[in-house]
Amino acid sequence: MRIQFNEMKETIRLAFIKAGMSEVKAEACARIHTESSCDGVYSHGLNRVSKFAEYIRTGLVNSEGEPILIQQMGSIENYDGNMGPGILNAQFTMDRAIDLASAHGMGLATLKNTTHWMRGGSYGWQAVQKGFIGICWTNTESCMPAWGSISSSVGNNPFVMAVPNGDSPLVLDMAMSQYSYGKLEVTRQAGATLPYPGGYDKEGILTDNPGEIEETRRILPMGYWKGSGFSILLDMVASLLSGGLATAGIDANNAGNCGGCSQIFMAFDPEKFGGSGFMEATLKQSIEHLHSAIPETEGGSIYYPGERTILTRKENRELGIPVNEKVWNEVSVLAGKSREGVL
Amino acid sequence: MRIQFNEMKETIRLAFIKAGMSEVKAEACARIHTESSCDGVYSHGLNRVSKFAEYIRTGLVNSEGEPILIQQMGSIENYDGNMGPGILNAQFTMDRAIDLASAHGMGLATLKNTTHWMRGGSYGWQAVQKGFIGICWTNTESCMPAWGSISSSVGNNPFVMAVPNGDSPLVLDMAMSQYSYGKLEVTRQAGATLPYPGGYDKEGILTDNPGEIEETRRILPMGYWKGSGFSILLDMVASLLSGGLATAGIDANNAGNCGGCSQIFMAFDPEKFGGSGFMEATLKQSIEHLHSAIPETEGGSIYYPGERTILTRKENRELGIPVNEKVWNEVSVLAGKSREGVL
């Protein structure tokens, strides 16, 4: 089943208004959720609407909370997110980083006391659409065992890096676990196995069986010790530069997924570096270099991060966005609509 | 066989002087090579001395090349490394980032036209020893197939993140390949297999047999597609912000390992963020949280990046640094010494 972009956005918007958000904020959040689904990141698009609406209703997210400047130094600004909607806080703060970069070449803007930003890649796309290089990351509650342990003590701390390139920017959006719990669930429901081992079974053996990993909750960091170590450093720097909670503090805060987390947003104005035409020439040379590698399978293609997203986006804009019918009906009910239309 | 720190440093210093370096530069480079071996990073310590000396002799590294400022904007400085010794260029540029951070809260200093920086972690340790958070990375020539391809088109682009913490800083030093070619060689020579698959055999099957991977040269990116994508973005940002060569350009430059590469150095003054005592409290809480996770093996320990380095460093300072006797003899000859002493 596919739903057109505007119909999905309008339905999500109504669901958020019913949950207690103002019209303007509901519209902005609905756009990001819809764009995520449209780009194929279903886990943080439509599929995340019910949970976010619940967070608004129960007050885990303060729907009227807005970022307040707590410190300004040259090209740096630190904000308190006041537990406001994570999407709006993150959008605002990446915009601040971009404005600072526009003035100073680079900008660093940080958020503390914020809430789940949904799809991290959204803020990378935001930067490149304005012509800026963007780097951002968030910490999260503990959801993954650190290397050498079997109990969760580190976050999956998504990390985003984005480089503008006309209509085909490079956007990396990468969590520190090899697979998300969403991917495990979808794979198990399909009766399939993971393409590569994604965690441990009860005997402590690496397995590609998603159900066994869901039972032990021992998901695998990407690159084994590497993803574990990177996660720890991302957490420390997010906390120290924002003055906000680290993963240990988010765990103690116990305010839902990412409740009270800390985020870093950096932007760079590529026009201020390398001279005229340098960026275009470098990107052209590098992308040609990548595309001319020998593919693994005959006739196969090699993609840079974000390249396939554009294809998915185009297809879903034309044909409608694929949805799980049950999820779509749930969100329609939250929006006060039946399947046939407004009740 | 173990060699005392000072004896190793003096021998390497003499080898570099014999290769054509000035005394001051030879001393500074010898210190970094010795510290790398002392910290257990043998591949970029003593074991790399012969190759570096050869690069000096053949002019692939310009031993008298020094970084020249090409642009300054507020907390940003861009340098041309003039193909000078990668260690000295990188040390200088990280120091500039630290000075900028001291003045502005954060600093970004970049290098183009530089040469192999040896162990990336050296510049993370440099930042934390001065009390600063450091982030740095380099691009390299192509040495790894991008995800979906079988021919090398991306670098392994080491990435470093470091957070000060008294005598036990957190220092992550992570290449984008799961294993280095050095690790494959050492493992093969020991007749062992890798702990986890590290690349592909001739049939295109993932294998933990190091010799088979050395033959195909299909080393595996960490986290499969993740390390491949991260490598591409690190390369683009290194090139665009430094105004220097990307991996494709380094390949075309054909001036030895990392000849003409581009590097990013960021430093942040943690004292300017979070308020008094915040950093200490956050690190204490976070490290306790990590250390209190349930270890995989009874009585096992969970370490953060850099934590075990301190133990190795202490042991090697006390007992001497383990060396491969053949390598030690080669470097002693380069230094004009026989095994028994100066010739």
For residue A53, the 8-state DSSP code is H
pLDDT digits 0-9 by tens, B88-134: 999 999 999 999 999 999 999 999 999 999 999 999 999 999 999 99
What is the predicted pLDDT for the residue at A343?
A: 45
In sequence order, what DSSP letters do the residues of B252-305 get, joined into one string?
HH--STTTTEEEEEEEE-GGGSS-TTHHHHHHHHHHHHHHTSPBSSTT-----T
What mean pLDDT comes out for the span B281-286?
A: 98
- In 3D, which of B25, B24, B22, B29 has the Cα closest to residue B331? B29
* Reported confidence tier of residue B170, pLDDT bands at 50, 70, 90: very high
Chain B contact for A288 (CB, 8 A cutoff): yes
Interface residue of A233, A250, A251, A261 to substitute, partner B, most B CBs within 10 Å: A233
Nearest Cβ partner of A75 from B75, B172, B290? B75
Window B:156-195, CB contacts with A under 8 Å: 161-163, 170, 172, 174, 178
Contacts of B295 in chain A (CB under 8 A): 148-150
CA angle (A243 as vertex; A113, A51 as ends), nearest 5: 20
Which residues of chain A fall below pLDDT 70? 338-343
Nearest chain A Cα distance for residue B273, angstroms: 6
- Position of tokens 């976070």? B286
Nearest chain A Cα distance for residue B153, angstroms: 6
- In 3D, which of A147, A138, A96 has the Cα closest to residue A117? A138
* Reported confidence tier of residue B340, pLDDT bands at 50, 70, 90: low
Nearest chain B Cα distance for residue A104, angstroms: 7
Look at residue B309 and give its three-state secondary structure: helix
Q: Look at A243 and B278 and tell me if their CB atoms are within 8 Å.
A: yes
Q: Look at B163 and A236 and tell me if their CB atoms are within 8 Å.
A: yes
Chain A contact for B202 (CB, 8 A cutoff): no
**B202's tokens:** 């001739």
* Reported confidence tier of residue B338, pLDDT bands at 50, 70, 90: low
Chain A contact for B143 (CB, 8 A cutoff): no
Look at residue A93 and give its three-state secondary structure: helix
Contacts of A163 in chain B (CB under 8 A): 233, 236-237, 240
What is the predicted pLDDT for the residue at A103?
A: 97
Chain A contact for B302 (CB, 8 A cutoff): yes
CA angle (B95 as vertex; A240, A78 as ends), nearest 5: 25
**B74's tokens:** 């507020």
Contacts of B106 in chain A (CB under 8 A): 75-76, 108
Cα–Cα distance between B231 and B158 in angstroms, integer?
9
What mean pLDDT comes out for the span B205-218?
A: 96
Contacts of A246 in chain B (CB under 8 A): 282, 285-286
Q: Which residues contact residue A288 at a Cβ distance below 8 angstroms, ignoring those fewer than 6 apart?
A: B248
pTM of whole model > 0.90? yes
What is the predicted pLDDT for the residue at B337?
A: 82
* Reported confidence tier of residue B186, pLDDT bands at 50, 70, 90: confident
Q: Which of B33, B44, B104, B291 is catalytic?
A: B44
Q: Which residues of A are catalytic?
A: 44
**pLDDT of B343 over the 90 cut:** no
Contacts of B279 in chain A (CB under 8 A): 240
Interface residue of A200, A282, A301 to substitute, partner B, most B CBs within 10 Å: A282
Nearest Cβ partner of B246 from A73, A232, A285? A285
Number of Cβ pairs closer than 8 Å across A and B? 254
**pLDDT of B276 over the 80 cut:** yes
Tell how far CA B160 is from the center of its chain.
8
Nearest chain B Cα distance for residue A315, angstroms: 22
What is the predicted pLDDT for the residue at A10?
A: 97
Cα–Cα distance between B241 and B264 in angstroms, integer?
8
Contacts of B160 in chain A (CB under 8 A): none
Chain B contact for A70 (CB, 8 A cutoff): no
Contacts of B230 in chain A (CB under 8 A): 161, 172, 174
In sequence order, what DSSP letters do the residues of A117-148 get, joined into one string?
-S-THHHHHHHHHTT-EEEEEE--S--EEPTT
- Position of tokens 């470091």? B162
Identify residue A228 by its one-letter amino acid code.
Answer: S
* Reported confidence tier of residue B40, pLDDT bands at 50, 70, 90: very high
What does DSSP say about strands A337-338 and A144-145: parallel, antiparallel, or unpaired?
unpaired
Q: Which residues contact residue B333 at a Cβ distance below 8 angstroms, ignoring those fewer than 6 apart?
A: none
Chain A contact for B147 (CB, 8 A cutoff): yes
Nearest Cβ partner of A248 from B146, B286, B301? B286
In sequence order, what DSSP letters do the residues of A261-307 get, joined into one string?
EEEEEEEE-GGGSS-TTHHHHHHHHHHHHHHTSPBSSTT-----TTH
Cα–Cα distance between B122 and B137 in angstroms, integer?
11
Long-range contacts at A282-288 (CB < 8 A, ≥ 24 apart) = A282/B236, A282/B239, A282/B240, A282/B246, A282/B249, A283/A163, A283/A165, A283/B236, A285/B246, A285/B248, A285/B249, A286/B232, A286/B235, A286/B236, A286/B239, A286/B246, A286/B247, A286/B248, A287/A165, A288/B248
Contacts of B148 in chain A (CB under 8 A): 295-296, 300-303
Nearest chain A Cα distance for residue B68, angstroms: 15
Nearest Cβ partner of A163 from B237, B293, B301? B237
Chain A contact for B204 (CB, 8 A cutoff): yes
What is the predicted pLDDT for the residue at B193?
A: 97
Asked if B19 contacts B334 with a C-beta cutoff of 8 angstroms, the reply is yes
Chain A contact for B74 (CB, 8 A cutoff): yes
| Average pLDDT score, chain B | 96
What mean pLDDT comes out for the span B41-49?
A: 93
% of chain B at pLDDT higher than 90: 94
Asked if A240 contacts B177 with a C-beta cutoff of 8 angstroms, the reply is no
Window B:232-261, CB contacts with A under 8 Å: 232-237, 239-243, 246-249, 251
Interface residue of A173, A239, A242, A250 to substitute, partner B, most B CBs within 10 Å: A239
What mean pLDDT comes out for the span B162-184?
A: 95
What is the predicted pLDDT for the residue at B342?
A: 47
Considering only residues A284 and B43, tell me which one the structure prediction assigns the higher pLDDT: A284
Contacts of A151 in chain B (CB under 8 A): 293-294
What is the predicted pLDDT for the residue at B12?
A: 98
Helix axes B49-58, B325-334, angle to 10 degrees: 30
What is the predicted pLDDT for the residue at A18?
A: 96
Window B:309-338, CB contacts with A under 8 Å: none
CB atoms within 10 A of CB A323: 19
What is the predicted pLDDT for the residue at A36?
A: 97
